[in-house]
Homo-oligomer: A and B are copies of this chain.
Amino acid sequence: MSEETQTASEMVLRPVGIVRSEIKEPILKPDSDDPELQREFVDARKKVRKMRDKVAELVIDEELEGILDGIEDFSHILVLFWPHLIPDEKRSSLVRVHPMGRKEFPLVGIFSTCSPVRPNPVLATVVRLVERNGNLLKVTGLDAVDGSPIIDIKPYAPGFYPSEGMRTPEWMEQIQKEFS
């Protein structure tokens, strides 16, 4: 078996847990041609602001007992999850989008955006860890839909995430400003 074949066959993810959240559907629809998207964005912004302090639960498989040990010593964690409500066919066909579906923003490649519609939709969000109870984590700031499979949890150590001297395009600065 060639290395390439072997690798491809190994890149299968199994859920390590599930998200329990008040968010019941994707905040922004994946269809960039939707004429309603502009109005939806305003709603999305409100929703994101609203859910920022809402507690979501990460329910980790009980058979992985011990895998969370020590996580309570971190105030923040990085959660990788799968946007299970995004249809498969969308993510293979979309290459460029207007960020957040807003036509006033330039058309850019998917890899320049945080769009959930991407070839491998592994979404990454830093959240605040409020509490651990055994295999259950309570967090705030998670933008995952209820029922999303959890792929991974990593400690958030600010030393590995630079905070100064970044350069980002204007549209991203605009988005960050509006969502902050």
Contacts and interface: CB of A to CB of B under 8 A. Distances in A.
Contacts of A159: 176-177, 179-180
A168 interface: yes
Interface residues of A, number: 73
Contact of A73 (B8, B114, B152, B167): B167
A148 to B, nearest CB: 9
A67 B110 contact: yes
Given A13-B13, A13-B120, A14-B120, A158 B152 contact: no
A169 B111 contact: no
Contacts of A108: 69-71
A95 B70 CA distance: 12
Interface string A57-100: 00010001111111101111110101010001000000110000
Q: Copies per complex?
A: 2
Nearest to A127: B162
A27 to B, nearest CB: 15
Contact of A176 (B69, B153, B157): B157
A35 interface: no
Contacts of A112: 68-71, 73-74, 155
